[in-house]
Amino acid sequence: MAIVVRKIKRPVRPHIGGGKKAQSTQLPQYIGKRPPCTDTCPSAEDIRGYLTYIAQAEEYGRTHEESMEQAFYILSDKNPIPAVMGRVCPHPCESACNRKDKDKAVSINKVELSIGEFALANKLQLKKLTEEKTGKKVAIIGSGPSGISCAYQLARRGHDVTMFESKPDIGGMIRWGIPAYRLPRDVIKNEYQRVFDMGVELKLNTKVGKDISLDQLKSDYDAIYSAIGAQVGWSLGLEGEDSSNVYTGVELLYKHNMEEELNIGDKVIVVGGGDTAMDVARSCKRLGADVTVVYRRSRKEMPAIEEDIVGAEEEGINFEFLCTPVKLAVADGKVTGMTCIRMELGEPDESGRASFKPIDGSEFDIQATSLIPAISQEADFEGLEELKNEKNWTTIQGEFGRFTEDSKIWSGGDITRKLGLVTEAVGDGRLAAEDIDRFLMGIEYKAPESIPVIYSDKMKMGHYADAERNYIGERPGSERIADFEEYITPFSVEALQAEAKRCMSCGQCFDCENCWKFCGDGAVNKLEKGLHFEFNLDACIGCGKCAEECPCGLIDMV
């Protein structure tokens, strides 16, 4: 418990033995800090909160099940789809985890997966913030992660929410653009159902701008959230690309997920280095093809999630790095091959990755029975042209996603980010929902108190015992390419608890007792379990020993 105290001045007090010790002008305070994992999580999950709740189960006399249930409610306050996120998030939180400066980062993403799986297995429901209904109506365009996040946050605040989805099933790009081996369909269905159980109405096969106009939504609803995603793939711009055996990456994934027959043949070329390219390549491998991925930079510059690149390598995907397509070979209306040219890297460009240029005379050919460009994608603005900017995205005003200052339209997700992460989409939906709620209820925005972020250089890293990182299980690559079944095995209970205990509780008390043990003046009082400690400043001389020995950086001398 963080205690805020006032500075006081006192005369030098006598010590036993007749000597005197000078009183410092600074006194200790317990000042909670923000851990860097949460600071870098676009969903703003209380990662430290749910990790330590699991880790301290025995210490606080809780069963594992009790701790997991509460961990789910801590997590789902910001993110309603943890079982989804635990499978597809590239976990920027782990790159920031202070534990990496000792050994390896905590496996936050796979703990999240375990919490999500526990909640599904035990049929845990999401919690509302109020049972009162406001009578306000909000329309959500799109059922992707940003749309479902916004719908959840609005429904739990008592608003009536209707979600419009143009496709025959829910999920947006996590349903149509991510293969089932990475994200089983029942996981999406069951996590989304919890939000619908809160009263959110769903209208499938309803395209806003075609089946119902945006003007009609403006008339019928008090606010609108546009999360239409980006589901139109880019082409390479080469002659012959209109051949019947050429698909964009998102097109192929959509057709496969719709269970359409795909005659891709046995030699597939995938162009691109992002998440969609990896999903396409690994899907085509499972469909029986020999797959070659062509990418213009080196492996180091690939923007795809590292786990998925490794997965592709384990599954026998071929990679041609530092090359780019320049010409297609076409016969009888089909692409039969592709000419590429080798590239060399230069200085970083605007993206922060190395620039590239072709090497004269380095052309080479690759045979193909299908070609799949997976280089990028954009949105379909048909009927929603007023939301489109000059670069075919949506420009928003401010940090909460409002379209214009005087509109009742908000937007978020891929469409405002020129593509982004699932966790970013979830965060966008929540922030927009909070702002929509303020708009509907006439509440003035008050910025939250700024909390400093704690980094490892302000912590006592030697206090923490070495602990190896735990890993989930996986089927071997040679086995998993035989089907589209999920191939991972979540943590066992023992591994989950061990991984949660690796969290260092950065910036928050975890009852190590160092401040109490190292104080030689009786200036630290131990409180009842859960309340931690408090300072007795009348006994404190401000020596600073407690701050020096606090491993998590909670104590400041002020």
Same domain, 179 and 226: yes
pLDDT level of residue 22 (50, 70, 90 thresholds): low
Residue 508 token pair: 């928050």
C-alpha 73 chain-centroid distance: 17
- According to DSSP, residue 453 is labeled B
Q: Pull the structure tokens for residue 345.
A: 């890297």
Query: What's the confidence (pLDDT) of residue 11?
Result: 40
Q: CA 163 → CA 55, 207, 316, 357, distances in Å?
A: 38, 11, 41, 46
The answer, yes or no, to whether residue 359 has pLDDT greater than 80, is yes
Residue 510, by phi and psi: left (phi above 0), alpha (psi -120 to 50) or beta? Answer: alpha
310 is a domain residue: yes
**Per-residue tokens: 501:** 């205990």
Residue 70 lies in a domain: yes
Does residue 139 contact residue 222 with C-beta atoms inside 8 Å?
A: no
Nearest to 255 by CA among 301, 278, 287: 287
Instruction: State pTM to two decimals.
Output: 0.92
pLDDT band at 172 (very low <50, low <70, confident <90, very high): very high
Same domain assignment for residues 161 and 277? no
Q: Which of the two residues, 96 and 5, has the higher pLDDT score?
A: 96
pLDDT given at position 20: 40
Tokens coding 31: 């000042």
Q: What is the pLDDT of residue 282?
A: 98
Q: In 3D, which of 466, 170, 490, 477 has the Cα closest to residue 315?
A: 477
The yes-or-no verdict on residue 44 having pLDDT over 80 is yes
336 in the same domain as 296 = yes
Give kind and range of the element (H or E) at residue 131.
Answer: none
Q: Is the dihedral of CA 271, 277, 278, 281 positive or negative?
A: negative
Mean pLDDT of 114-118: 98
Of the pLDDT bands very low, low, confident and very high (cuts 50, 70, 90), residue 348 is confident
Query: What integer is the mean pLDDT of 320-335?
Result: 97
Residue 201 confidence (pLDDT) = 98
Task: State residue 551's pLDDT score.
Answer: 97
Domain that holds residue 197: 137-231+379-441
Task: Kindly state whether residues 153 and 21 are assigned to the same domain.
Answer: no
Residue 132 in domain: no
AA identity, residue 183: L
Please tell me the distance from the alpha carbon of residue 430 to that of residue 76, in angstroms, as a whole number. Answer: 11
pLDDT tens digits, residue range 495-519? 999 999 999 999 999 999 999 999 9
E strand map for 15-136: 28-30
Q: H-type helices in 390-452, by residue range?
A: 414-417, 422-441
| 355: confidence class by pLDDT, cuts 50, 70, 90 | confident
* Other CB atoms within 10 A of residue 14 CB: 10
* b/e per residue 211-240 (b: at least 16 CB within 10 A): ebebeebeeebbbbbbbbbbbebeebebeb
DSSP code of residue 144: S
Kindly tell me if the per-residue pLDDT of 480 is higher than 60: yes
Q: What pLDDT, on the 0 to 100 scale, is given for residue 23? A: 59
Greater confidence (20 vs 215) lies with 215
Structural domain includes residue 22: yes
290 has a pLDDT exceeding 70: yes
The closest of 81, 146, 27 to 433, measured between CA atoms, is: 146
Asked if residue 508 lies in contact with residue 552, where contact means CB atoms within 8 angstroms, the answer is yes
Q: Which residues contact 512 (CB under 8 A, 6 or more apart)?
A: 463, 550, 551, 552
Query: Final residue of a domain: which of 375, 394, 421?
Result: 375
Report the pLDDT averaged over residues 237-254: 96
Angle, alpha carbons 360-361-362 (nearest 5°): 95
Domain match, 532 and 486 both? no
CATH number at residue 114: 1.10.1060.10
Give the type of residue at 536: N
Query: Is 8 part of a structural domain of the chain?
Result: yes
What is the rounded average pLDDT of the residues 459-471? 97
Give 5's pLDDT tier (boundaries 50, 70, 90): very low
Measure the CA–CA gap between 45 and 75, rounded to whole angstroms.
6
Please state, in angstroms and rounded to a whole number, the distance separating the CA atoms of residues 540 and 535: 8
CA distances from 265 to 140, 284, 291, 422 (A): 40, 9, 10, 32
Asked if 308 and 393 sit in the same domain, the reply is no
Residues 71 and 175 in one domain: no
Domain with residue 349: its CATH number is 3.50.50.60
Q: Number of folded domains in the chain?
A: 4
State pLDDT tens for residues 435-448.
999 999 999 999 99
Distance CA(89)–CA(45), nearest Å, equals: 13
Helix (H, G, I), strand (E, B) or coil at 157: coil
Q: Is residue 4 part of a domain?
A: yes
The pLDDT value given to residue 353: 79
Residue 446 included in any domain: no
| Predicted confidence (pLDDT) at residue 453 exceeds the cutoff of 70 | yes
pLDDT band at 398 (very low <50, low <70, confident <90, very high): confident
The angle, 0 to 180 degrees and rounded to 10, between the axes of the packed helices 493-500 and 108-121 is 130
List the CATH number of the domain containing 552. 3.30.70.20
What mean pLDDT is reported for the chain?
94
Do residues 507 and 553 touch, judged by C-beta distance below 8 A?
yes
Residue 343 reports pLDDT greater than 60:
yes
Shared domain for 243 and 223, answered yes or no, is no
| % of the chain beyond a pLDDT of 70 | 96
My answer on whether 288 and 414 are in the same domain is no
pLDDT digit string (tens) for 119-146? 999 999 999 999 999 999 999 999 999 9
Please indicate, yes or no, whether residues 55 and 70 belong to a single structural domain of this protein: yes
Instruction: Quote the CA–CA distance of 367 and 383 in Å, as a whole number.
Output: 41
- 12 has a pLDDT exceeding 90: no
**Ranges of H-type helices in 442-544:** 477-480, 493-500, 514-518
By CB neighbour count within 10 A (0-12 exposed, 13-18 middle, 19+ buried), where does 286 fall? buried
Whether residues 416 and 486 share a domain: the answer is no
Question: Is the same domain home to 437 and 354?
Answer: no
pLDDT at 21 over 60: no
Give me the numbers of helices (H) and strands (E) for the chain, helices first please.
19, 21
Which of 321, 349, 375 is at the close of a domain? 375
On whether residue 437 sits in a domain, the answer given is yes
Would you state the structure tokens that stand for residue 205, as one six-digit string? Answer: 């096969």
Orientation angle between helical segments 493-500 and 47-55, nearest 10 degrees: 120
The predicted pLDDT at position 24 comes to 66
